[in-house]
Structure 1
Amino acid sequence: MYKIAPLQNGLENIDGFYFGGLNSGFKKVGNDLGFIRADEPFAISAIFTSNKFAAAPIAHFRRILEKNGGEFRTNFILINSKNANAMTGEAGIGDIDEIFSEISKFTPLVNPVMSSTGVIGYRLKKEKIIAAAKNFDLMARDSEAIATAIMTTDTLKKEFAYEVSLDSGEKFHIAGICKGAGMINPALATMLCYILTDAKIPHSDMGELLSEAVEDSFNRVSVDGDTSTNDTVMLATSARASYDKEAFRAALKKLTLDLALMLVRDGEGANKLVKFRVFGAKNDNEAKKAAKALSNSPLVKTAIYGEDPNWGRIASTIGACGIECDAEKLVIKYDDALVYDSAHRELDEERERLAHEVMQKAEFEISCDLGLGAGEFSAYGCDLSYEYVKINADYRS
């Protein structure tokens, strides 16, 4: 068995890594360039966007991976905000190599990797990054500095840390930082996320457990239904502490879900966090289709924003998503307030009042029992105003 306990602060809880951030001039105020490094190369695993136009840093990472036969170690991660380095072609990848060539002149680099977030279609201002990187305090352990450096339209930093105690008396730690507020859809979510641990996790387990955790967290959230070119989740270990696979699996899933829900709470134009729980589906896959359809639907988002308890948009979205469903068996609730079943098709005054009270809360659950089987899936979304949905066309990453 094991116990997972929250810790104060973020990445500072993980021995073996250094990290920090500073202003390089991309932002008028605040940090916009950060790093994670170690004295010795560390194992790393990553999951990237499903967008076919993946940004140059992702292409750069994949080339290193291919060159090293599908597994490699690095000692340096460089991260910038305000510029996505996406849709920049071979020149964008070459810019990364040039930046690292200059940085290697003042600190040793082994398979360095980069992440970027910001505006799509512009090449990096290499000179600014190189000049600023020379001012990094490479011995810093400042989670605040790097957590703020990766923020774009975020209104708050996102970081969590946990200590995991095993029955043997041994412990390990895990911590993560994340950015994301807009262009968030269940295909990672628009985000950069860096997870550090001191657990001595085998590389073969890293990819497996990271994939599981992402599927149960970042792939379940939606803000505005768009998928970025730069989505990245990285897991790195200093391998200085003990390891238990089941304990690590649980801690990693908790960490990623906590970060994912913070993304939704901080969504651009969002005021409410809503869990869409679909159960009683023919199978899990059909439940997943319905839950994701609900979390992505602009009609549902605007109804939630308007605190409109009418269940029509919920039922309509389920009926349109291509799964098996039956109006005679469907049951819809907002938390514990029944809004629809075959015996209560119209909202009476009391049930409408109770449903409206639920929708006024900052966080609540919309549950949909399809009454057809054992399939179940939950997705997470938020409200958005009609004006936001209508005019939000500036594609950020």
Structure 2
Amino acid sequence: MHELVKCNGIKEGKNGLGIVVCEGSVAGVFTQNKFKSPSVVVTEEHIKNGFIEGIIANSGNANAFTGKQGYKDAKRMCQLLAEKLKTNTESIAVASTGVIGIQLDMEWIESRFEKVYAGLGNKEENALAFAKSIMTTDRFPKFAKYKEDFKIAGVCKGAGMIHPNMATMLAFIFTDAKFEAGELKEMLRTAVKYSFNAISVDGDTSTNDMVLLVAKGECEVSRDRFLNGLKDVCLNLAKQIARDGEGATKLIKVTIVNAKSEEEAFKGARTVVSSNLVKTAVFGNDPNWGRIIASLGYSGIDVNEELDLKLLGYRDGHKIEEVELVKNGVGLGNEGIARRVMEKSNEIEFIINLKLGNGNGYAYGCDLTYDYVRINSEYTT
């Protein structure tokens, strides 16, 4: 990221402020929640011309459900950066994340702005400072990059309020490739479909979700090659969000093969990975495959009682063991083996073969732990 833009940020307690200077074509994908943060509304308005020169973001306060004042504050944040860059306010994107329903502390933001702006740079430490500035309940900053004869780099935050149809997450992706805004939007939507919209932590879709893609236009690259790289970066970031789910101890992947269609495979996988019963079973190392079958059954897709189901255990990305649980619709009695595999793993994959067609899909999530309840019961205190 730091190789493509100038950035910086600060984090003081729960409050953070970050800035990115990134002139180029832009596309965005935003939350489907009907209560959109003014930051989302303003950014959607500002990127309609397909070009931005900077991003300003704050954490600790979502600036959501804050009415006309919230809109004015989002515009003011853009104005702060626009004045420094000697450009118009409409060339700046704004993002917020944090507690809903509280007005922004603009005095805090304005009093820190000069310090953050003065520290802008293109070193690794600048990128880390920006990544930390947008974190809320995240346990670690999240980066991903792709490099051939062109570059793509991204940063994101997110650990809770994560669910398909944009998951509270913010993601900012930058490239030196040359594409117009319309092309970027089409490719970003495709990449989001196979990444950020294929993860779930807790079934909640935030008011502030946003993914922005900015292209500096410095090198020519084919659409197919760029899309492959963009998918790679987005999926990498999405998996980091799922792995960092609030209180999570295990990453969960659900893969469905041979469904009636790709759409049904993704829909079924998202349903299973979102099931609280499946998530708690994984936390307890309980290979209760009946919960997987039950959630698949209410997913709304076509199913086959003669399906196959197996469990794969991984530790730090390395496969430990594979265990068949169901074959041709019959349980194989391998729960004891499966439990031992789960106990040794920090990533669990369930592969379901529906034997109905050629549709394949996947979804990522995490287990549901005691800490999730603690973190979210104490969020505003």
Residue 387 of structure 1 and its aligned partner are, at CA, apart by 7.0
Q: Does residue 1:129 correspond to 2:117, yes or no?
A: no
Q: State the secondary structure of the residue aligned to 1:92.
A: helix
Matched to 1:118, the amino acid is G
Residue of 231, 241, 251 corresponding to 1:273 = 251
Equivalent residue for 1:113?
93
Which residue of 2 is the match for residue 247 of structure 1? 225
Runs (5+) with no aligned partner, structure 2: 313-321
Residue deviations 1:29-80, cap 9 Å, x none?
7x71111114xx4211110011111111111122334xxxx33322121010
Distance 1:270 1:139, change over 3 A: closer
Question: Cα deviations across residues 230-258 of structure 1 (Å, max 9, x unaligned)?
Answer: 11100012212232211111111111111
- Give the TM-score normalised by the residue count of structure 2: 0.90
Aligned residue in 2 for 1:5: none
Structure 1 position 316, deviation (Å): 0.9
Superposed counterparts of 1:223-238, under 5 Å: 223-238=201-216
Residue pair 2:307, 2:329 contacting (<8 A) in 1 also: no
Contact kept, 8 Å, 1:221 with 1:260, in 2: the verdict is yes
- Check 1:346–1:79 CA distance in 2 against 1; reply closer, same or farther (3 A cut): same
Q: How does 1:254-333 map to 2 (within 5 A)?
A: 254-327=232-305, 329-333=306-310
1:117-165 CA distances to partner (integer Å, 9 max, x unpaired)?
000011111121112112222642211110111111001110122211x
| Higher share in strand | 2
More helix by share: 2
Partner-residue secondary structure (3-state), 1:308: coil
Tell me which moved more, 144-153 or 286-295.
286-295
Instruction: Provide Cα deviations, 1:148-199, integer angstroms capped at 9, x if missing partner.
Output: 11111001110122211xxxxxx21111101001111112223111101111
State the match for 1:12 in structure 2.
2
Helix, strand or coil: the match of 1:249? helix
Q: How does 1:181-220 map to 2 (within 5 A)?
A: 181-220=159-198
Structure 1 match to 2:339: 356
Instruction: For structure 1, list consecutive stretches of 5 or more residues without a partner in the other structure.
Output: 1-10, 165-170
Q: Structure 1 residue 212: deviation in Å?
A: 0.8
RMSD between aligned residues: 2.1
Query: For 2:331, what is the secondary structure of its paired residue?
Result: coil
Other-structure match for 2:319: none
Q: CA deviation at 1:85?
A: 0.3
CA distance in 1 between counterparts of 2:211 and 2:142 reads 14
- Tell me the amino acid that sits aligned with residue 353 of structure 1: G
Q: Aligned to 1:228, what secondary structure does the other structure show?
A: coil
CA distance in 2, matches of 1:395, 1:152: 10
Letter of the aligned partner of 1:340 in structure 2? V
SS state at 2:286 partner: coil
Task: Check if 1:368 corresponds to 2:352.
Answer: yes
Q: CA deviation at 1:207?
A: 0.5
When normalised by structure 1's length, the TM-score is 0.86
Distance in 1 (CA, whole Å) between partners of 2:166 and 2:329 is 39
| Residue among 3, 10, 13 paired with 1:28 | 13
Distance in 2 between the 1:186 and 1:151 partners? 20
Work out the CA distance in 1 between the residues paired with 2:2 and 2:374.
41
The residue number in structure 2 matching 1:345 is: 331
